């Protein structure tokens, strides 16, 4: 069937209708303002950061102790420039600044970038504990290389740890952009504001949710489908959400939380060395060295063949 190009005469009117919505629905567009952080640039920076943390496991082959300094130096230099620009944009937007004002947000972005990059050696040491936790916690794992190559939980945790450093530096937008990108790739949703100790292992991972004010200790292991969430959202007299309060649980050291468990509330604490069984729903504190399980379910089985025999 041949195209009827006369139908294209409708397109200018459609364009006019769309442009009118940019006035009516202004919260959906960002016009006549300074540039926002660029998602592609943030992801590219994240890719370089992962290359620094796991050299030899990702893009660049042939790395050795003779050339690693040059390679990492080039990555750090590129990250400095890229993050300086993106962080500066985020800070300007958060301050509702205009492009020609006197305050130099790019200089502030550079200062924050340098503070962030300076923490990468210690962050690598933290990530090494997460790799070890995965290897120690999964008998199917053949070695640390398998964890780095194959485990989505490690990818989500590593990106969270990078984003958490930026969150601590009070950088807007970019930490959430990073963790939501990891969420889209792994199915694991970790808010960058959460506090997570060393030796953290998420086994399988899909469907895990860890909220902003969650506090997790050392040597904690959780399985797929676990939610560490909020019990309720308090509002003020005008019905607006009250922000800045602890809404998510505290998980102390050496806790194991099995698949599909849900733990809610800012006042809820899971004591150290406890085990939370599959599909448990908790909204209150559990003391140390406690095992929480659902009652054994009763199963009802029906066989069409047996039914036929009884009625014969």
pTM of the complete model: 0.89
* Contact (Cβ atoms closer than 8 angstroms) between residue 19 and residue 29: no
In a domain, 278, yes or no: yes
- Euclidean distance between CA atoms 270 and 281, whole angstroms: 12
Q: What would the two tokens of residue 41 be?
A: 């640039």
Chain Cα centroid distance, residue 229: 14
CATH number of the domain to which 228 belongs: 2.160.10.10
What angle is formed at CA 59 by the lines to CA 159 and CA 222, rounded to 5 degrees?
30
- Helix residue spans in 65-201 (DSSP H): 68-94, 105-117, 120-137, 144-150, 152-168, 174-186
- Identify whether residues 183 and 52 lie together within a single domain: yes
DSSP SS3 for 139: coil
In a domain, 104, yes or no: yes
- Identify whether residues 64 and 128 lie together within a single domain: yes
In a domain, 12, yes or no: no
DSSP SS3 for 282: strand
CB atoms within 10 A of CB 195: 13
In a domain, 82, yes or no: yes
In a domain, 230, yes or no: yes
- Identify whether residues 172 and 266 lie together within a single domain: no
In a domain, 1, yes or no: no
The region that residue 222 occupies, defined by phi over 0 for left and psi between -120 and 50 for alpha, beta otherwise, is beta
Q: What is the pLDDT of residue 286?
A: 97
Q: Count how many domains the chain has.
A: 2
Residue indicated by tokens 């990073």 = 178
Q: What is the pLDDT of residue 141?
A: 96
Q: Which domain holds residue 56?
A: 30-187
- Identify whether residues 180 and 200 lie together within a single domain: no
- Identify whether residues 35 and 137 lie together within a single domain: yes
In a domain, 10, yes or no: no
- Identify whether residues 157 and 34 lie together within a single domain: yes
* Residue segments in the chain with a per-residue pLDDT below the cut of 70: 1-7, 97, 100-102, 304-312
Q: Given 187, 203, 225, which residue is the final one in a domain?
A: 187
CATH number of the domain to which 56 belongs: 1.10.3130.10
In a domain, 72, yes or no: yes
Q: What is the pLDDT of residue 241?
A: 73
- Identify whether residues 42 and 179 lie together within a single domain: yes
What angle is formed at CA 284 by the lines to CA 283 and CA 289, rounded to 5 degrees?
120
- Identify whether residues 53 and 180 lie together within a single domain: yes
- Identify whether residues 266 and 220 lie together within a single domain: yes
Rg over CA atoms, the chain: 25
- Identify whether residues 100 and 36 lie together within a single domain: yes
- Identify whether residues 175 and 266 lie together within a single domain: no
CB atoms within 10 A of CB 18: 9
Q: What is the pLDDT of residue 247?
A: 94
- Identify whether residues 198 and 135 lie together within a single domain: no
- Euclidean distance between CA atoms 156 and 203, whole angstroms: 11
Buried b (16+ CB within 10 A) or exposed e, 227-240: bbbbeeeeeeeeee
Q: Between β-strands 275-276 and 256-257, what pairing exists: parallel, antiparallel or unpaired?
A: parallel
pLDDT tens, residue by residue, 144-198: 999 999 999 999 999 999 999 999 999 999 999 999 999 999 999 999 999 999 9
């Amino acid at each position: 069937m041949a195209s009827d190009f006369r139908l294209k005469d409708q397109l200018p009117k459609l364009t006019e209708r769309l442009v009118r919505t940019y006035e009516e629905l202004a919260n959906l567009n960002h016009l006549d303002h300074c540039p926002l952080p660029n998602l592609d640039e943030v992801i590219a920076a994240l890719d370089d950061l992962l290359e620094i943390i796991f050299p030899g496991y990702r893009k660049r082959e042939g790395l050795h102790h003779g050339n690693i300094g040059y390679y990492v130096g080039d990555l750090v230099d590129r990250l400095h420039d890229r993050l300086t620009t993106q962080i500066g944009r985020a800070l300007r937007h958060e301050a509702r600044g205009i492009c020609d004002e006197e305050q130099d947000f790019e200089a502030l972005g550079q200062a924050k970038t340098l503070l962030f990059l300076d923490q990468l050696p210690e962050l690598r040491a933290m990530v090494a504990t997460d790799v070890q936790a995965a290897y120690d916690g999964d008998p199917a794992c053949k070695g640390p290389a398998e964890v780095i190559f194959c485990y989505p939980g490690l990818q989500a945790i590593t990106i969270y740890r990078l984003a958490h450093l930026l969150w601590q530096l009070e950088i807007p937008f970019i930490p959430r952009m990073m963790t939501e990108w990891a969420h889209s790739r792994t199915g694991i949703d970790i808010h960058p504001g959460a506090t997570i100790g060393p030796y953290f292992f998420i086994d399988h991972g899909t469907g895990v949710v860890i909220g902003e004010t969650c506090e997790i200790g050392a040597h904690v292991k959780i399985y797929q489908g676990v939610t560490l969430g909020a019990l309720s959202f308090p509002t003020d007299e005008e019905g607006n959400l009250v922000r800045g309060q602890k809404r998510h649980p505290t998980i102390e050291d050496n806790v194991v939380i099995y698949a599909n468990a849900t733990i809610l509330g800012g006042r809820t604490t899971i004591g150290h060395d406890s085990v939370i069984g599959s599909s448990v729903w908790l909204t209150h504190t559990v003391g140390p060295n406690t095992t929480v399980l659902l009652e054994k379910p009763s199963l009802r089985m029906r066989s069409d063949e047996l039914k036929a025999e009884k009625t014969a």
